[in-house]
Each structure stands twice: as C-alpha cells, then as structure tokens.
Chain A
Amino acid sequence: MQFMLLFSRQGKLRLQKWYVPLSDKEKKKITRELVQTVLARKPKMCSFLEWRDLKIVYKRYASLYFCCAIEDQDNELITLEIIHRYVELLDKYFGSVCELDIIFNFEKAYFILDEFLLGGEAQETSKKNVLKAIEQADLSYFSFSRGWI
C-alpha cells in the first residue's frame, strides 16, 4: 500500500498515512485531487478506480471515506477486507465508532492503524491480537513505581 486517506463527505481530511516518501506539497496535491475524484463518484459505482498509475480502492462507511492506493500487483478485493478490518478495530476500540471519535482521538486512530499495518502491509491478521496489543500498550503509560507516564 502506498497511502491511506480518511476524509469526510465535505472533503475534510481525518487521517492520512503515507508509506512512500513525498514532499508536503506533493502530498497536498495528491490529497486534493484524489478527494475530488472520489467524492465525484456516484453511490453505486465500483469501489476501484485507476488514478495516475495507481489502483485506488475506496469504501464509504457512514460519513467517512476510506481510501487506499495500492500497487499493480496488489489484490483489490483483499484491500477492501483490510479497510473493513480497520473499521472493525476502530469500532471495537471506541465502542460503536463514529466520525467524531476519530476527530477527537485522532492520535489513537493512528496508534490502532500502526498496530494493524506496518510499512503498508498487514502485520497481524487476528483481530483479537491487535486489540490486545493496543490495550497493553495503553497500559504502558502506567508504571507502578512512577505513576502515569
């Protein structure tokens, strides 16, 4: 995966994870163009589109669009599953997640993503294990000798 973007129906960016090195300017440009392209799609259309030389897989969950850019050899259908898995993880963590959760706790959304994907590939295929790891990591904040750190 080259990058993942989450944005609202008004085009506001809620999360951006880049796995390829690009300058800030390029990232902004890509984001702007891609958001425009995806938002212009009608509801029943295909979840895949070809954009520049990448394959874009996107899916809308309530008011948020989850959009991934994958390479030529990657499997589009399994990318849809990856997106779905991430949504499930957010849902389990926040308890019936909604867009506001992701806005106000954006750093948690990133931590969860980083526990599921690493370098653009899935690192843990068990939902349970990902959630357990996040829980444990959160507990790392607490050290018995020094209190919350």
Chain B
Amino acid sequence: MSPSVPLQEMIRAIRSARTQCEERGVIQRECAAIRAQFRQADNGGRSHNLAKLLYVHMLGYPAHFGQMECVRMIASPRYSEKRVGYLGAMMLLDEKQDASLLITNSIKNDLSNSNQYIQSLALCTLACMGSAEMCRDLAPEIDRLLRASNSYIKKKAALCAVHIVRKVHDLGELFTKAARSLLTEKNHGVVHGAVVLITELCERNSETLERFRKTVPDLVQIMKGLVISGYSPDHDVAGISDPFLQVRILRLLRILGRNNEAASDAMNDLLAQVATNTDSTKTVGNAVLYETVLTVLDIKSESGLRVLAVNILGRFLLNNDRNIRYIAMTSLQKIVGTDHNAVQRHRGTIVDCLKDQDASVKRRALELSLALVSASNIRSMMKELLSFLSSCPPELRSQTASGIFNAAERYAPSQRWHIDTILHVLTTAGGDVRDETVPNLIQLITNTSELHCYTVHKLYRALLSDISQQPLVQVACWCIGEYGDLLLTGECQETEPVQVTEDYVLDVLETVLQSHMSSPSTRGFALTATMKLSTRITENVDRIRSIVSIYGSCIDVELQQRAVEYNALFKKYDHMRAAVLERMPVIEKNSQGHTNGETIKESQTVKVKPGEPQQPANQVCDLLDLLGGSEQPLQPSPALGSAAPPIPVSAPNTVGGDLLDLLGGLEPTPITPVATVTVYEKDGVTVTLSCEKQSDSGLTVTLTASNSTESDIRGFTLQAAVPKSVQLHMKAPSGDSLPARGTAKVTQMVVLNNPNKVNLKMRLRISYTSQGSAVQDTVQIDSFPGLGQ
C-alpha cells in the first residue's frame, strides 16, 4: 500500500488534477490507502486519515466506509481523535444511519468528562444530529448540565436542550424550570441560550407560554440594560450592544405579548424606546428595528406605537439598501389588511419600487401595489400597473394581468375606462391572461350597450395592427360579428370616424381565418363572426357564402362542422337565418371560473336543437368512472366553447342561443315554469335538467327523460359523475322504460353537496336499449339553471 500522505498534500494533489478522470484516480488511490489504514492497528495517524476522508466526502464521493471509524475515534481517549471523530459523525452519520446509535454511550461518557472541551464536542454533536432516541436517553444529562456547570457548558447545554425539545416535544417539561433560572445569569451566551430555549418551549406548549408570561418584566429589564448601557467592547457590533441577544429577546416578547393585554402593556415603553433610540445607519441596527417592528405589529400595542412602527417601515422603504426595501415590503404586506390607511401613505414609494432592477423587489412591490388599489386612486394606480405590465419580467405577467383585471372590476370609474383597460392588457400581455377573460370581456361589452359602437371601432383597429394575441382576436371577432353594422355605418361619437367598407371587414376576418397564428378556437370565432355578418351587411353575402362553403371541407373537425351547419342555414333554412343570427341580448352576469367561453346559463330554453355538446374527435377527454364517483374537474375543449355565448335569460321568442348545432328541426318547447334546461337530445331521446337549491351547499337536481321515437325504449339508465370534492347521491329512478311518442317520462333525482363551492359540473352517461340495440352516450353539463354560483 502506498504510504498515506498528509492531509494538505492530498488536497494539493486533488486540486492539481486537470481532469475529472484524473481527480477520480487520485481519490480512489487515497481512499484505498485510507481503508487500509483503518484496518490497521492504532498508528497515531488516524485523525489525519479520517480528515482526508471527510474532505473527499465533501467533494461528493462516497465515504460510508468511514462510519465505523468515526465511532471508534469518538471512543478514543485522545482529544485530537475525538474531535475529528465527532466532526465525522456530524458529517457522515445522520439519525437515519444505524451506526449513530453506537455513539450514544460515548456521548454520554463525554458529557461528564472533566475536560470542558470534550464535553463541548459531545453537546455539539448531540445538538446537530441527535435522533429522538438519543435525545430521550441523554435528556437527563443535559438537564443536569443546565443546572450545575460553568457558563461555557451551560450555554451549549441550553441549545442542546432546544434540539431535544424539537425532536421530542414532551421533554419540554423537563427543562422548564432550569430555563427559568438561566435567565438571571450574567453571561450573555447563557442568557441567549435560555431565551432561545424559552422561545422553543412557549411555541410548543400554550400552558408553558402562560407560565413564562411572568418573565416579561425580567426580559424587559435585560433589554433595557442592553439598550441604555454604555459601550461594552465584548458584545458591541457597530454601536449596538449584543444585537443577537436583542433580536432574540424581542422575538420572545412578541410570542409572550400576542393576544395578551397585560403583557403587551408591560413591554410598550421598552419597544418605543428601542424603536426610537436604535441607530439605523447600519444593517445591524436595522435588524433590531425590524424585529421591533414585527413585535409591535403582532402584539396588542397602542396606536401610537403602531404608527411609529409603520413609519419605521416607511423609512426602510426609502433606504438605499435593497435588502432593507425588500424587508419593508414583506412586512407591509402582512399589515396591509389591518392598517390599510397607514400603508397607503407610502403608496408612492411602493409604486416606485415597481421599477427596481431586482425581481424579488418587483414581485413584492407588485403584490403590495395590487393590495393598495382603491376607488380613489384607481386611475393613477392603473397607469402605473399598465406601464409595469409592458416591462415586467415574464414570470410576473400573468399575476399582474389578473391583478389588473380584479382591480378594474372592483373599482372601474366608468365602463369605457374598464373596457379600455382590458383592451390595453390584452394588447400588451394577451398571451398571459387567464382563459375566462374572453367570456368576461364579451359579457362586459354586451352590457355596455351605449359603447358598442366605440368598442367595435377600437377592436377593429386593434385587429388591423396585430392578430397574434389570441384573446384579443377572439373578442374582436366576436364583436365584429355582433356589431358589424355599427362598424360599417362609420360614425361614432367617441372615436374618430373611419371609413370601413364591407370588403375590409371581411378581409380582416378572412385574414384571421387563414393566419397560422390563429388557434383553432380563434378561427371558430372568426367563422361564426363571418356568418353573423351575413345578416348585417347588404352586398357581399355571396362572399360570405363562399367562405363558409370552403370551410365545409376543412381538416379541423370543429370548423368543418360549423361551416357545414352554416351552409345548411344558407340553403335549407334561409328563412330563419335572420332570426338565428339576430343581435344577442344582454348577458346576465355569470359566475367566474368557466374556462374558455362556454357559459351556458339558461333558464328558459327555446329549443334550437342544441343537442349535446359534441366532443370532437380530437378531444382528449377521459370518459371514465361515471359510477357516482369522483373525477378530476373537467377540461372543456377550447374548440367547444368559443362562439357560443350564454343563452339569454328572458326573451322567450328569440331563437338565439347555441349556434353550434343547427341540424334537424327547430322545435319550440313549452316554456316550463321551473328553470329547466335540455342537456341531451339525440335520436329522439331527450333529457332535461332542473335544479333547486336546498341549502348553502346543497342542491337537488332532477333529470327527466322522454322518448319521442316510434319505438319503446327499455333499460334506460342514467349515471352521473361530478368533480372530486362534490358529494353525489343518486336516488332511485322512477322507472327504466320510456314508452314511444313521449307518452310517459322517467325522472331521477340527484342530490349534490358542494361544500367547497367548486365550479359545479356533471357528466351524465345515458344508456338504453332501443329496437334491440344498445346505445350509450355521454354529455357534460357545465352550468345549472337558477344556480348563482
């Protein structure tokens, strides 16, 4: 075996290796030598060998064969060997290794050694990697040391006790008394250890917390001593006397004063004193001030003191040091709910921080700014937020966009401003907005009827310049489809008039249809918009007809279906075209959370033969587990939802509604008094749904099935599935056969409980036998009539 080289030689050799391979070679040789040395008898160089192994371990190489050597070294009587042995134990043995148990006895012996440095090694190791079992075994020893030893050992024993309590909560009781008496010691290290221990005990156990409240006056006394006393060279850091101890005491006071008037009163003066007297030019002073502020804001402090604390945070905001600004904003975020006005005063500075270079600071500033938006400052704040949106880092964009939308919704000073803001966001960050933005915006637009002209003009112009932002394009297409006539008349009070001919409009829509940047759902919007224009324009109807028929052979199934249906509308149902494509009535405000457009809210229906929402073939929906079970909240297809705005609440005469499926006849249904919606209709089998709210989270849904074909249907069953957190209970159906020609119906009640108020969806599987063949179908219900979610 090659002779073992001293530690430093080996390190030099490893560092001089020029390649990874060379390095590995050196290390393998060394490890082999070390292994050999371990097997030999004691030769005086054991500590060096272990040290070399530890170095190799730090480089990332395996060193588990050194574990037993650590155990042996710890048991050695030589200090040098013990020291390295304990170091090895802390690095190689963690509580999950079996070998760690073997050192318990050595630790126990060393805890009573006459050499305090050996005692210290044992305490350090126990506090670093002691397992729960080891802690239980050695806790009485630690308690003994807490009471009767010198301050060097006492301070270490206190922190060792902290580790023990973290590992085995029950042992906290054991140390309570000793901790209390340690507070009276003079040695700063011991007091610091005691404070940490008491903090740990109080955090774990509320009874202990109650008992330690009595120490508040003592703690206040100690703090006063530190703050007022003159320069003490031993503990001074930049003019602050023992900042580490000050910070820990403040933290303990915070825990003791929380929710307790008496304790909070007792510390009031002290906190005021610390807050005003601490020098804030250096980080260390600011560290103490920071802890003070956290304490003041968490206990039951006087209002004057709170104002003082918030002002300190305000000063922090103006500090040149970026760290301090970050800390300030983190703290302000915690109190923006409770002390809103105080934080508002610093709004200017916070908004300036939006322009900071550092991403963490920007994020904090964004969160705070959004929390500070109110009715009075909405215009100026929105200006800042919008300019931030155009320059912010990509990871913050979607948060900013959502924040802007929320703020706009709550505090918009006018409709026009609201629409402008949303349009601005869509043009700047269209790719990062959430899916429900499109239907929300569409609904907002239809609600502001006086601005239809303005809106469509603006959107048209936006579309001319850029068709890459999908949400914007979708909204624009929809509006052009709806309000194209307003666009063509050319006049509009709010914006400059622009001459738009029918050809231009159709050009734009065609560009969207053909562009490779348009997503399938966007193209769906564009196609439907083109179709709608056929009733709003006068001259170019043929052009529309040709566009529609071209897409009748489009590869995309969704587009093809639409085109085919529109074609049918032109050919067979031309007399109904005007009525079908009439202007949409005002949409009622629906719940949020419906993704991508398909908000079928209905109360009355005029059956436009809506059929079932066809899942196109390219869908990746899993039709599984319909046996009253749970399933993931469903992802409706993007292609599905886009062009179908919610069916209107009133207006029993309009045939407007789901423009998706116009196959077959248009049969008006009798208007039922209870809000019912048809959820399935195919091959003569119809299923309607009505629901009734029973309680805050409970809902009873009634499904009614009928059969309008010429033959009877047997074995009719309905199965339902709902999102995970919703509870479902299907009652027994009234029967399972549907006689022909709708002479009798089958009803089934389903009781739902939605305690978490998640977005309620239901998937229904319909199975039956008709004329000898089995039929099975599935339909998804996304919204329930009469349900204000």
Q: Give residues in A with beta carbon < 8 Å to B.
A: 13-16, 18-19, 21-23, 28, 42, 44-50, 73, 75-78, 80-82, 85, 103-104, 106-107, 110-111, 114-115, 118-119, 121-129, 133, 136-137, 140-141, 148-149
Decide if B323 touches A48 in the complex (CB within 8 Å).
yes
Of B234-242, B340-348, B442-450, B706-714, the segment with at least 4 beta carbons within 8 Å of chain A is: B234-242
Contact B127 A118 (CB under 8 A): yes
Is B211 located at the chain interface by the 8 A CB criterion? no
> Are A140 and B160 in contact, with the CB atoms below 8 A?
no
- Main SS of the interface on chain A? mixed
Q: Is the CB of B96 within 8 A of A149?
A: no
| Total residues of chain B contacting the partner, CB 8 A | 66
B320 CB to nearest chain A CB (Å): 11
Instruction: Say whether B664 faces chain A, with CB atoms less than 8 Å apart.
Output: no
The interface residues of chain B lying within 8 Å CB-to-CB of A123 are 155-156, 159, 189, 192-193
Beta-carbon nearest neighbor of B255 in chain A: A73
Residues of B within 8 A of A119 (CB): 127-128, 159-160, 162-163
A23: nearest chain-B partner, CB-CB: B96
11 A-B pairs besides A75-B294, A118-B156, A124-B189 with CB distance below 8 A are A15-B58, A16-B58, A23-B96, A48-B323, A75-B251, A81-B237, A81-B243, A81-B244, A106-B54, A118-B127, A123-B193
Residues of B within 8 A of A28 (CB): 60
Query: In the bound complex, how far is the Cα of B189 from the Cα of A76, in angstroms?
Result: 21
Which A residue sits closest to B115, measured CB to CB?
A140
User: What residues of chain B have their CB less than 8 Å away from a CB belonging to chain A?
Assistant: 8, 11, 15, 51, 54-55, 58-60, 78-80, 83-84, 87, 94-96, 115, 117-118, 120, 123-124, 127-129, 131, 152, 155-156, 159-160, 162-163, 188-189, 192-193, 196, 234-235, 237, 242-245, 247, 251, 283-284, 286-287, 290-291, 294, 322-324, 326-327, 357-361
Least CB distance, A137 to chain B, in whole angstroms: 4
Cα–Cα, bound, A111→B463 (Å): 69
In the complex, the answer to whether A21 meets B129 with C-beta atoms within 8 Å is yes
When distances are taken between beta carbons in the complex, the residues of chain A under 8 Å from B123 are: 118
Inter-chain contact B159/A118, CB cutoff 8 Å: yes
Check B188 against A126 for contact (C-beta < 8 Å): yes
Q: In the bound complex, do residue B8 and residue A114 qualify as a contact, i.e. CB atoms below 8 Å apart?
A: no
Given the complex, which residues of A lie within 8 Å of B118, measured CB to CB? 140
Q: CB < 8 Å: which of A16, A118, A129 contacts B124?
A: A118
| Residues of A close to B357: CB separation below 8 A | 42, 44-45
Contacts of A48 in B (CB 8 A): 323, 326-327, 360
* A59, chain B: closest CB distance, angstroms: 10
Whole-angstrom distance between the alpha carbons of A16 and B86 in the complex?
A: 15
B85 smallest CB distance to A (angstroms):
12
12 A-B pairs in the complex with CB atoms less than 8 angstroms apart: A19-B128, A21-B129, A22-B94, A45-B360, A49-B360, A77-B286, A78-B243, A80-B283, A81-B284, A85-B237, A118-B159, A141-B80
Tell me the complex Cα distance, A19–B282, Å: 29
Pairwise interchain contact A46-B117, C-beta atoms closer than 8 A: no
In the complex, the chain B residue whose C-beta lies closest to that of A81 is: B284
Q: Is the CB of A137 within 8 A of B117?
A: yes
Write the nearest CB–CB distance from B356 to chain A, whole angstroms: 9
Contacts of B324 in A (CB 8 A): 77
The answer on a CB contact under 8 Å between A149 and B234 is: no
**Residues of chain A lying within 8 A (CB to CB) of residue B120:** 115, 133, 137
- On chain A, the residues within 8 Å of B131 by CB distance are 21
